[in-house]
Chain A
């Protein structure tokens, strides 16, 4: 996935597009992450100002949601579903193998809605069913 390098001006411009939205704080954090790959610490203050919230409010939202991260992402993102239906077809074992090979890139997820064709994995936003280490390696390229 391609992200822009962090830019204060770009962040300000993007946040301005959400001014009219109701309850925009979570959307704003998501927008920052989809643009820059993560939520830079400067965003908390910026979002608080833009939407007239306290920094504590914004920080509270930022830390509640599993998706949001505050450090730049690895070059590839491998999300492995480790929920029950995928466990039933070997997701735990797959996770162990993938983690051993790509420790920085691997994270756990809970269900991509592909539970009849598990194990399900998302590699850089592309869904893989009946996933194996080999399939993941191919998708990563």
Chain B
């Protein structure tokens, strides 16, 4: 019999290590697995007991509950106020469609045996039997688009790199995950790191690359440690290295750690940073697919993009593209964050409504007050009002509604939020994180924050609103990348959807 107590850093943040230590002391003969989190973060620490008919869940468990759980004979599934029944029957989880996150929270993240037993490496073995072009065809056919924000079709990017003749090419995984309200990359890496390694290996074989880099933000020390261990295990089991799983391919992966810069999530700034330089955005063309890392052809993909590839290879493109709506095919790993009662990971097909995510899954706000605003897609994403809750969550519908999906983070605010303050923060964040290359972004953002301040103070409100809109236009048109180019999105959406917060007199 085994006990599962998540070692995910979100679970650790609310006491999972203390819970695990208490069980280890009182039940020395029971094996404790530190799995990833199932993503129902409001239930952390979610403790699961293995039973012949599946796992039984208890949560949220604190160290103070350990004695009473043992007294209730929880190891045999005994009744307890924290009992949640069978894990697989918890509606919040059972109703999801987990593809990318299929193994997260289920397996021991660092057990290759567990990984194999749950379908790991099937995709890579299939890829090794295919021609390079057929691998790319499969990925293209699945409809998989970049999950880092821009939504560019993965297959097209891979083909561009594959068609270059360079003998040296790179796979760069973008694990900078800078957007507030997003944590799926982190949870995937902490909960199922071999999936990312497998996805990168498949990409390498498909395009003919021999070296990979994972650029992870320094704010993720737990993920960095788990991924490094997983890479070491993969190296010691003839997966990474000179002969990938006994084939003539060679591929290895190195981690590079960020240094607290948001703009380094932009792909060319990331390349500069991996090269050890200031994270200044490059102009395109040349595109990284042709001249990327150290001037060589480079595939750059987000963690989730790469981690979905093994499933696509294993189950086939049709399996994946059967899900979703229109040109948004497959599943999206939504992340419910901020002031939300039931926050965490909701992976389901594109096309679910915002209302279903925030209210049905999320259960409204944590504070119990009415939901007033929702920011979708990180600091460069739009603020939506509840009037827009029927919006279908897919790339195209969100753009049509004046927003963007970004990395799929949804941040909920209750009715105490002041959208003028949020708009000001958007400008301040841009000023802080701008790489400095373009004047509208570098200087305009500071002017923008000052102007919003005047509006908040009630100084010449109408003129300043007009000035702010002009400034937004200059930033949109005159910025090289989406840092300066999309900062106007949260600002303008706040003004449009919450006009009463911009009339000078505070609510």
Contacts and interface: CB of A to CB of B under 8 A. Distances in A.
A113 B9 contact: yes
Given A66-B259, A88-B413, A26 B219 contact: no
Interface stretch (B180-188, B449-457, B478-486): B180-188
Nearest to B219: A112
B339 interface: yes
A26 B14 contact: no
A63 to B, nearest CB: 8
A45 interface: no
Given A25-B277, A66-B261, A84-B422, A118 B338 contact: yes
A116 B41 contact: yes
A117 B338 contact: no
Contact of A116 (B9, B335, B422): B335
A17 to B, nearest CB: 14
A130 interface: yes
12 contacts: A30-B218, A60-B277, A64-B278, A64-B279, A68-B259, A83-B379, A84-B379, A88-B338, A111-B182, A111-B219, A115-B181, A120-B13
Interface of B: 9-10, 12-14, 41-42, 44, 177-183, 185-187, 218-223, 256-262, 273-280, 294, 335-340, 343-344, 366-367, 375, 379, 409, 411-414, 417, 422, 425, 429
A46 interface: no
Contact of B186 (A28, A113, A117): A113
A85 B334 CA distance: 14
A66 B375 CA distance: 25
Given A27-B276, A127-B9, A129-B13, A115 B335 contact: yes
A114 interface: yes
Contacts of B344: 116
A64 B222 contact: no
Contact of B259 (A67, A116, A118): A67
A64 B263 CA distance: 11
Given A120-B13, A129-B13, A85 B181 contact: yes
Contacts of B414: 88
Contacts of B337: 85, 88, 115-116, 118
Q: Looking at chain A, what size class is its interface with the partner chain?
A: 35 or more
Nearest to A109: B219
A27 B278 CA distance: 12
B267 to A, nearest CB: 16
A66 B432 CA distance: 10
Given A84-B375, A86-B180, 8 more contacts: A26-B277, A27-B276, A64-B279, A83-B181, A85-B409, A112-B220, A114-B13, A115-B338
B181 A65 contact: no
Interface in A99-113: 109-113
Contact of B14 (A30, A64, A109, A129): A129
Nearest to B374: A88
Contacts of A22: 275, 294
A89 B338 contact: yes
B261 A65 contact: yes
Closest A-B pairs by Cβ, 7 of them: A116-B343, A129-B13, A83-B180, A65-B259, A88-B338, A115-B337, A66-B260
A128 interface: yes
Q: Which of A61, A65, A85, A110 has the most CB of B within 10 A?
A: A85
B183 A61 contact: no
Contacts of A64: 261, 278-280
B98 to A, nearest CB: 17
A114 B6 CA distance: 14
A87 interface: yes
A23 interface: yes
Nearest to A84: B180
Given A115-B337, A115-B409, A61 B219 contact: no
A75 interface: no
A48 interface: no
A60 to B, nearest CB: 5
A24 interface: yes
B42 A27 contact: no
Given A84-B180, A89-B339, A23 B277 contact: yes
A116 B182 CA distance: 9
B250 to A, nearest CB: 17
Contact of B278 (A61, A67, A110): A61
A72 interface: no
Given A26-B273, A61-B278, A64-B261, A113 B294 contact: no
A110 B177 contact: no
B191 to A, nearest CB: 12
A113 B219 contact: yes
B261 A127 contact: no
Contacts of A114: 9-10, 13, 183
A15 to B, nearest CB: 13
Nearest to A108: B432
A115 B279 contact: no
